[in-house]
Structure 1
């Protein structure tokens, strides 16, 4: 009888042990599944065009710091303005750095993006090998510029007109890009032009006679009564993404500001970082251009008046430059 009882007890204890192991296995399995779920990060796509805007994010794109736990960020550098425009109009990036007029077009055409801030003020400069001291001395001269009827041209013409200069008395020579402008100034086919950074630094390396006459951004400050000048590059964020990921957006903008400060302070490294993320400009030229690149992060709340003025002037020139309609206050990503 004792043997029977002992046997029953052993069986019972074995069963309890097995149940315990089974329960532990289930618990561990649940924990394992829970851990797997926890490491599935939310994907965030950030795009910028080749050039100064990409330099603004170069530290972030190369070092890939964690902006906020639970998010995986992918950075892309678009080779052309056309490819950048296409990806934005398809609403692919959650965050993008774009020309400021493209921010208005994206808002008017998609209703999906809002302006979070500026990452670069005007970086165009009037340069010449001739004895010129100001904009009014361009009358009667042949002057190079990029993008006829596009924002560089509109900005130049607006400043000149506001200063009472008849632009019809200036012989503008237009090319598609700054890279096409540089050889003309190097070979003296042109003596005077409006040239942006970093192309300006490349030009000054090749033609030691080139002198900087005046910053177009300074000219804009004078005619628009602006403290900062005109917003050349703008950071836009999808409205729904910003609303549903406020902590990430706030953290990212802080990191972006730090990245820009780093690029301005680390002129020996900025070029190499930019090269590693796909910027095509020579690293040494980038390093030399930082002094005049005018990269800076300014929150949209401190730029609304400047944007309104800028968009009004673009709209007055040609409504199509801002998407056909002057953008309303809803374009700005500000706390209500």
Structure 2
């Protein structure tokens, strides 16, 4: 009987010791709800917000990072977006690629380039029988923003084709793509350089409009690049990247999958775009996917495209990239 009691006591002590040991060796579970960090992600209305439609609509978070609370927003004004970035307000933003360089130069490296959500989506269109980009020599062409990136891309292409865009083409500049639509639709002018999704809206309004050339394809041929020029760029705060690189990589993975989803679920994509308040009509946005060139490409696979793009812009007008070529530190490791 004493032997049984001793054995029972020994068993209980052993069990208690194991429980105590397990409790001591178990990693501490941190209450992340007390340490929530808000990550502000901003995309402008148009193609960048289209690329992010699934993430914005579904309020996508990164699995395993419950402490990181992503807040998505769509910015209607490109000027307001640039101002916010230069004030270092968003943690992650999708911006025109030249703005990525400007932000890096003006904020002393506050932001780094993580990748692109799409390559060039500007097209030469006309109701005239033009054959190629060079055919605009001697003509009036409606275009966006004198001295801004779309204009510089066009000027750079023309220069390499032997056409002086400053003296041999009469560019009539407007402030936004939507201003181009009525000018061409009413016949006031016949030829324009216009991006998606405005292009699809123009063709829906006036079916006689023909797509003459893709500026992105022209860029690929002339400058011998793989993807063309990076039109929209994901920038990330350097400090956020330094402290939470795995989180950023998870976010970029979600972005890539979200863009693939756009093309595989077009009807739902259109509804999502409408739900998050994009300006263009759902039907136009769905149709515009054909020429929008939305595709996530990480910086490791696109760094040479960026270097080439910034070099050409700097030669045309260094002010468009913040006054100088950005150094290698602009690119996410």
For residues 98-124 of structure 1, the C-alpha deviation after alignment (integer angstroms, 9 at most, x for no partner) is 000000000001120000001110000
For residues 66-125 of structure 1, the C-alpha deviation after alignment (integer angstroms, 9 at most, x for no partner) is 313321110011111111011111111111000000000000011200000011100001
Q: Give the Cα–Cα distance (whole angstroms) in 2 for the partners of residues 122 and 35 of structure 1.
A: 45
Q: Where do 5+ consecutive residues of structure 1 fail to align?
A: 1-33
Assess, with a 3 A threshold, how the Cα gap between structure 1 residues 115 and 37 changes in structure 2: closer, same or farther. closer
Aligned partner (choices 71, 74, 78) of residue 74 of structure 1: 71
Measured after TM superposition, the shift of residue 166 of structure 1 is 2.3
Measured after TM superposition, the shift of residue 265 of structure 1 is 2.1
For residue 273 of structure 1, give the secondary structure of its aligned residue in structure 2: helix
Q: Give the Cα–Cα distance (whole angstroms) in 1 for the partners of residues 136 and 92 of structure 2.
A: 40
1:133 equivalent in structure 2: 131
Q: Give the Cα–Cα distance (whole angstroms) in 2 for the partners of residues 38 and 48 of structure 1.
A: 27
Measured after TM superposition, the shift of residue 138 of structure 1 is 1.0
Q: Give the Cα–Cα distance (whole angstroms) in 2 for the partners of residues 269 and 323 of structure 1.
A: 39
RMSD in angstroms over aligned alpha carbons? 1.3
For residues 220-245 of structure 1, the C-alpha deviation after alignment (integer angstroms, 9 at most, x for no partner) is 01111001000000000001101101
| Contact in 2 for aligned 1:269/1:287 (Cα 8 Å) | no
Measured after TM superposition, the shift of residue 38 of structure 1 is 4.0
* Normalised TM-score (structure 2): 0.88
For residue 189 of structure 2, give the secondary structure of its aligned residue in structure 1: coil
For residues 281-303 of structure 1, the C-alpha deviation after alignment (integer angstroms, 9 at most, x for no partner) is 11111001001000000010111
Larger radius of gyration: 1
Q: Give the Cα–Cα distance (whole angstroms) in 2 for the partners of residues 230 and 36 of structure 1.
A: 45
Correspondence list, 1:83-232, <5 A: 83-110=80-107, 111-167=109-165, 168-232=167-231
| Contact in 2 for aligned 1:264/1:295 (Cα 8 Å) | no
Aligned partner (choices 54, 57, 72) of residue 62 of structure 1: 57
* Normalised TM-score (structure 1): 0.87
For residue 311 of structure 2, give the secondary structure of its aligned residue in structure 1: helix
Measured after TM superposition, the shift of residue 36 of structure 1 is 5.7
Q: Where do 5+ consecutive residues of structure 2 fail to align?
A: 1-28
| Range that drifts further, 103-112 or 67-76 | 67-76
Measured after TM superposition, the shift of residue 43 of structure 1 is 1.2
For residue 269 of structure 1, give the secondary structure of its aligned residue in structure 2: helix
For residue 188 of structure 1, give the secondary structure of its aligned residue in structure 2: coil
